[in-house]
Amino acid sequence: MEKQENNYEEIFKKIESTPTLKKIKLAQDFVDEKLSYGFIVKNKIYIVNSDKKIIPFSELSKNGLTPVNENLYSSKFPIKSLEKFIDGEIKINPNELFMHISSHIKTFIYFQNERDYSLVALWIMGTYVFNIFRYFPYLHITADKGSGKSTLLDVMLNLCFNGSISTDSSAAVIYRDIDALQSTMLLDESENYDKKNDDASAAKAGILKGGFSKNGVVRRCVGSEYSPKNFSSYSPKILAGINKLEEVLSDRVVRIILSRNNLCDIRRFVESNDVILLQNTIREKLYFFGLEFASKIFQLYSSTDFLGSDKDLLDNRLIDIWLPQLIIAHIVDESNNDKSKSIFNEMKILMSKESDHRKEVNQEENEVIKILTAIYKLIENKNKNKIVRIKVGFAHITNTDLLEYLKNSKVVLENFTVSRLTTKLKELFNIDGPQPATVSLSSVREYRIEIEKVNQVYKSRITN
């Protein structure tokens, strides 16, 4: 018995003498209140942090760190300028950097709302410090055809932190890219992920639903032993498309609307040597902005007093989504000698408009949910009412009967019209408008709704 106790003492001593190592993501991370970036020199990995300390990969454990993923296979860090930055020869003015980015975007892209240039520039700056935040918003770009969506993605690709554009990449490629490189993912037509009924699209939608949060992970079995492993899904993402997003994603985005431009003189984006040189210069400053201002950003993030009374006007989710832009805007304003223009105030205006938009969307969503529930119950209780006729898997309901039922049931208001009802049903069930009824009166028109579709939509939007 005594020998066993001695064995325990020896085990406890080993435990006490074993150093606790903190996990660090090599491409970009924020650990011990220090921001770090990884870079590669002659096939060897190093990290540099906001204390201006360079740590070789082989010495991470000596510094109390252990890599989450050793697969840093690419880095755009400006290593040739690192010595000058560490020696204090390079200083970043956030306002000048902000103006440089927004001016570059304005050369190729037209936004109807001038404040959108500020929002995009701040969002790009945020991609270099996103690991400081618990949440980082997706940038949702909605655009008409021919309005410059593809051009905007091309311009942002080489400005965002480790930009990676994806049109047909698998979910595995996306989450492995994020896990290894902390990539800013530029995803086109991403609003369709949740609408396609296949495993590949569902997997991509799963990445998006959690990938705005620092705790977002994708869990997969790997290796010959099929051991479970977590892959980080947290990174900045641009969601571009022509349709609106699924409701659950709309709470994770800041929105930009692109419109056709027939008035302004904008250049066609071509990756000429001059453009590449300019983008490389901006990207270099973005890295050094992160290292120089990480401590300040974290300080503001830890105490949101700089928001004043504004933080009480917004729900928590909106604060989480907008804080990165507000904090960087505050830093930009502090470095601007011209106090007549406030980027921070611009963001407050956009945020207020977004808050109003969310309220409208929530009201519309509540209306849609009530209509969906009413139709589902009508079909479910088809034998107890004379409104619904069932024929070969379809529910036939005349437009007048359905509208009257919804009004009598207080599902919709008295001023609700057939036209509006048709719009809602198209959104829900992807049906055509009311067709001539298969009854004797030719003037009567009816909706024909697939019952299986109703069940699927009800299950996905109500019971899940």
| Domain match, 318 and 381 both | no
| Burial zone of 268 (CB within 10 Å; 0-12 exposed, 13-18 middle, 19+ buried) | exposed
- The whole-angstrom distance between residue 428's C-alpha and the CA centroid of its chain comes to 24
| Domain match, 249 and 143 both | yes
The helix/strand/coil state of 424 is helix
The helix/strand/coil state of 42 is coil
Kindly write down the DSSP assignment for every residue of 281-308, as one continuous string. Answer: HHHHHHHHHHHHHHHHHHHHHH-GGGGG
| Domain match, 331 and 276 both | yes
| Domain match, 121 and 197 both | yes
CATH of the domain at 449: 1.10.10
Which phi and psi angles does 433 have, rounded to 5°? Answer: -70, 180
Structural domain harbouring 448: 364-463
Decide if 305 is inside a domain.
yes
| Domain match, 274 and 405 both | no
Cβ count near 307 (within 10 Å) = 20
DSSP, res 390: E
| Domain match, 300 and 187 both | yes
Decide if 237 is inside a domain.
yes
| Domain match, 296 and 401 both | no
Decide if 136 is inside a domain.
yes
Query: First vs last Cα of the chain: how many Å apart?
Result: 56
Decide if 71 is inside a domain.
no
Decide if 354 is inside a domain.
no
Using the Cα atoms of residue 95, residue 98, residue 104 and residue 109 in order, give the sign of their dihedral: negative
Backbone conformation region of residue 42, classed left if phi is above 0, alpha if psi is from -120 to 50, else beta = left
Of 186, 102, 103, give the one whose Cα is nearest residue 150.
186
| Domain match, 184 and 283 both | yes
Decide if 6 is inside a domain.
no
Judging by DSSP bridges, how do beta strands 22-24 and 65-67 pair with one another? parallel
The answer to whether residues 216 and 210 touch, using CB atoms and an 8 Å cutoff, is: yes
Of 92, 94, 120, 125, give the one whose Cα is nearest residue 106.
120
Could you give the C-alpha distances from 106 to 101, 325, 358, in angstroms and in order? Answer: 9, 19, 28
Q: State how far the Cα of 160 lies from the Cα of 123, in Å rounded to an integer.
A: 9
The predicted pLDDT at position 437 comes to: 63
**Domain total in the chain:** 2
Cβ count near 96 (within 10 Å) = 13
Residuewise pLDDT in 10s, the chain (464 residues): 454 555 787 777 777 777 789 999 999 999 999 999 999 999 999 999 999 999 999 999 999 999 998 889 999 999 999 999 999 999 999 999 999 999 999 999 988 899 999 999 999 999 999 999 999 999 999 887 777 888 999 999 999 999 999 877 889 999 999 999 999 999 987 666 655 556 777 888 889 999 999 999 999 988 888 889 899 999 999 999 877 777 678 889 999 988 776 555 566 788 899 999 999 999 999 999 999 999 999 999 998 888 877 776 666 668 889 999 999 999 999 999 988 889 999 999 998 888 888 877 777 778 888 999 999 999 888 767 778 888 889 999 988 889 998 999 888 888 899 888 988 888 888 887 777 765 544 567 888 999 999 998 888 777 65
All residues at 6 or more sequence positions from 371 whose CB lies less than 8 Å from its CB, including other chains? 406, 411, 412, 421, 424, 425, 428
Kindly write down the DSSP assignment for every residue of 404-440, as one continuous string. Answer: HHHHHTTSS-TT--HHHHHHHHHHHH---S-EE-SSS
The answer to whether residues 373 and 462 touch, using CB atoms and an 8 Å cutoff, is: yes
79 token code pair: 């290593």
| Domain match, 108 and 193 both | yes
The predicted pLDDT at position 191 comes to: 60
Q: State how far the Cα of 450 lies from the Cα of 104, in Å rounded to an integer.
A: 50
The predicted pLDDT at position 19 comes to: 74
Decide if 331 is inside a domain.
yes
The predicted pLDDT at position 8 comes to: 81
- For the sheet with 138-143, list strands across it: 163-166, 184-188, 237-241, 138-143, 253-258
| Domain match, 334 and 391 both | no
Which phi and psi angles does 89 have, rounded to 5°? Answer: -80, -20
Q: State how far the Cα of 437 lies from the Cα of 264, in Å rounded to an integer.
A: 51
The predicted pLDDT at position 156 comes to: 95
Run of H or E residues at 65:
strand 65-67
Decide if 395 is inside a domain.
yes
189 token code pair: 């037509």
CATH of the domain at 211: 3.40.50
| Burial zone of 190 (CB within 10 Å; 0-12 exposed, 13-18 middle, 19+ buried) | buried
Residues linked to residue 375 through DSSP beta bridges, in sequence order: none
Q: Indicate the length of the chain as a whole number.
A: 464
